[in-house]
């Protein structure tokens, strides 16, 4: 059956995708449908067609899934902040656990990963958990101020007066700012023209301390009638910091590099366990403090520190994990690329009277190899903790970790696919996945946080090796993703089928070594088809996704 755009079809939702969207099939075509749940039978309208996949919009439910619930938020379907409020929380947890399991099995090449995975760690009350929120501002067609969240995959603002996942005080904070912008005719930013003053509202709330920060991101250097806003905000109990962030770039970047304090301190404080942290507008700090304590307790458990270990915390941010570990270790070294984060980390160490934590500014893949080569303090580690960005660990860093030979590696990840990719590399180099825990940091979304423990393979561990002839000279870059995984990614994201030949051609163009004779022509006179430009771009996107270029 050939699907037709804007045509309605009946579909049975059989599975759920990376962002929690429903997946079904019509006439052999895979169709992704937002707002559907595994088990739904529904009418959908095809809104986007590619060669082998399609995207649909829910028109009407025929038979609701047993996992479907009524969203608590009335605008959950329009808003891009939550993608899974219509799914029962129990099913959300089951979905996330299986998402990690499948990645470890398919990408990480871990046999029976479920045998090493603990039960998922969810929240007792999965609402109002976010301590940080970022609200874009704008105007509707009638010129009224809108403050809310972007609709999914767009920059259209859904006006939001209440949010059920952010700190409850945010409803009052945004109401005060909405009134201020309206009463004093303060312009809001327009992405198309690059004009208008107020771009975003950033709020931070200390769940343990009750301290509140409000930061207006502005396309300028000052805010008219700022004292009026300060007067209104400081009537709210807990207000600790009112500031501006300067961002005059015409980009999608939310925060600029410069902050100006209008009232109060430059930061707020909060606790994870009994460790106190100073948090500035630009600080990275986990958004769910309740589950962050659960996550860090699990990191501490997996690190299994006895008091005499040297520990590295890579991608350490403001030292949140470093300081959590320091009281149980002899020495902790942290490394982070953002200079301000390192300054915050040093202040946080002083704040907690921790003297055995040392911090480096720079990229982990540059700093750690240099320290290792120096042979000095920090060149050896008993335990390594990595908490990289979504793209996972850099290949140079992984290579250095293998050379350092820590007894244990604790890997914290917000992307199970890149986690699994790096687990596969580490397992190929003498480490074994021992334990894995899934922590629901981002309730009602498709995102998931995972922590795994890898330890050095023992001499008596059973090692089964299966080598295919075409993979005997597999390079470290190639090992990040197989040809089959690259094909799957290109098919899903671009709707294109690509061959091993095309993949190897693009790899060579990108400077990635492949087998010496892999997919080369049989003779100099042989004519070999060349990868079309469209497929080359799609393959390069896949190589970038898997961290190979």
Please check whether residue 214 is in contact with residue 238, taking contact to mean a CB–CB distance below 8 angstroms: no
**Residue labelled with tokens 């000052």:** 222
How far apart CA 255 and CA 347 sit, in angstroms, is 22
Q: Annotated catalytic sites, by residue?
A: 414
**Contact partners, residue 302, CB within 8 Å, separation at least 6:** 408, 410, 435, 451, 452, 453
CB 385 within 8 A of CB 320: no
SS3 444: coil
The tokens describing 447, both together, are 């995102």
Taking the C-alpha atoms of residue 120 and residue 114, their distance in angstroms, rounded to an integer, is 11
69 CB contacts (<8 Å, ≥6 apart)? 85, 86, 87, 88
d(CA 73, CA 163): 7
The strand pairing partners of 69, in sequence order, are: none
- 390 Cβ partners below 8 Å, 6+ apart? 414, 415, 418
Contacts of residue 150, Cβ cutoff 8 Å, sequence gap at least 6: 80, 136, 156, 157, 158
Q: Which residues contact 418 (CB under 8 A, 6 or more apart)?
A: 388, 390, 391, 392, 546, 547
Q: Which residues of 83-92 are buried (b: 16+ CB within 10 A; e: fewer)?
A: bbbbbebebb
How many C-alpha atoms does 134 have within 13 Å on its Cβ side? 12
Q: Which residues of 197-217 are buried (b: 16+ CB within 10 A; e: fewer)?
A: bbbbbbbbbbbbeebbbbbbb
Q: Which of 264, 296, 303 is nearest to 280 (CA)?
A: 264
């Amino acid at each position: 059956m050939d699907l037709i755009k804007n045509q309605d079809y009946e579909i049975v939702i059989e599975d759920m995708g990376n962002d929690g969207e429903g997946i079904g099939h019509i006439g052999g075509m895979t169709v992704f449908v937002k707002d559907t749940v595994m088990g739904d039978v529904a009418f959908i309208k095809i809104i986007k067609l590619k060669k082998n996949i399609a995207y649909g919009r829910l028109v009407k439910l025929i038979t609701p899934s047993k996992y479907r619930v009524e969203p608590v938020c009335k605008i959950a379907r329009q808003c891009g902040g939550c993608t899974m409020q219509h799914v029962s929380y129990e099913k959300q947890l089951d979905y996330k656990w299986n998402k990690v399991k499948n990645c470890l099995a398919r990408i990480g090449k871990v046999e029976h990963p479920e045998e090493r995975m603990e039960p998922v760690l969810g929240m007792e009350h999965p609402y109002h958990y976010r301590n940080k929120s970022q609200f874009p501002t704008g105007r509707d067609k009638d010129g009224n101020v809108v403050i809310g969240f972007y609709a999914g995959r767009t920059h259209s603002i859904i006006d939001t007066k209440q949010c059920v996942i952010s700190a409850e005080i945010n409803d009052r904070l945004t109401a005060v700012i909405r009134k201020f912008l309206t009463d004093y005719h303060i312009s809001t930013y327009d992405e198309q023209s690059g004009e208008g003053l107020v771009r975003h509202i950033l709020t931070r709330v200390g769940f343990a301390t009750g301290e509140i920060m409000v930061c207006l991101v502005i396309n300028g250097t000052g805010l008219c009638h700022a004292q009026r806003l300060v007067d209104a905000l400081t009537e709210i109990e807990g207000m600790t910091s009112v500031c501006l962030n300067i961002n005059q770039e015409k980009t999608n970047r939310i925060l600029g590099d410069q902050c100006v304090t209008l009232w109060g301190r430059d930061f707020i404080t909060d606790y994870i366990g009994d460790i106190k942290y100073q948090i500035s507008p630009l600080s990275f700090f986990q958004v769910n403090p309740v589950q962050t304590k659960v996550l860090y307790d699990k990191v501490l458990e997996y690190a299994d520190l006895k008091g005499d270990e040297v520990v590295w915390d890579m991608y350490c941010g403001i030292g949140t994990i470093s300081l959590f570990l320091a009281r149980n270790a002899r020495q902790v070294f942290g490394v982070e690329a953002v200079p301000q984060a390192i300054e915050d980390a040093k202040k946080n160490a002083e704040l907690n009277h921790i003297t055995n934590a040392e911090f480096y500014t720079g990229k982990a893949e540059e700093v750690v190899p240099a320290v290792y080569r120096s042979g000095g303090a920090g060149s050896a580690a008993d335990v390594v903790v990595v908490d990289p960005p979504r793209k996972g660990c850099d290949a140079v860093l992984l290579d250095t970790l293998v050379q350092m030979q820590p007894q244990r590696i604790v890997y914290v990840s917000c992307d199970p696919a890149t986690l699994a990719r790096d687990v596969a590399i580490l397992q190929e180099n003498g480490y074994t996945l021992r334990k894995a825990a899934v922590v629901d940091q981002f309730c009602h979304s498709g995102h998931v946080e995972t922590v795994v423990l890898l330890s050095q393979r023992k001499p008596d561990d059973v090692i089964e090796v299966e080598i295919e002839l075409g993979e005997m000279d597999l390079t470290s870059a190639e090992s990040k993703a197989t040809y089959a995984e690259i094909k799957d990614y290109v098919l899903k994201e671009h709707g294109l089928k690509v061959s091993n030949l095309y993949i190897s051609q693009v790899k060579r163009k990108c400077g990635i070594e492949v087998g010496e004779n892999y997919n080369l022509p049989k003779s100099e006179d042989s004519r070999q088809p060349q990868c079309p430009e469209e497929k080359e771009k799609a393959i390069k996107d896949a190589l970038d996704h898997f961290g190979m270029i």
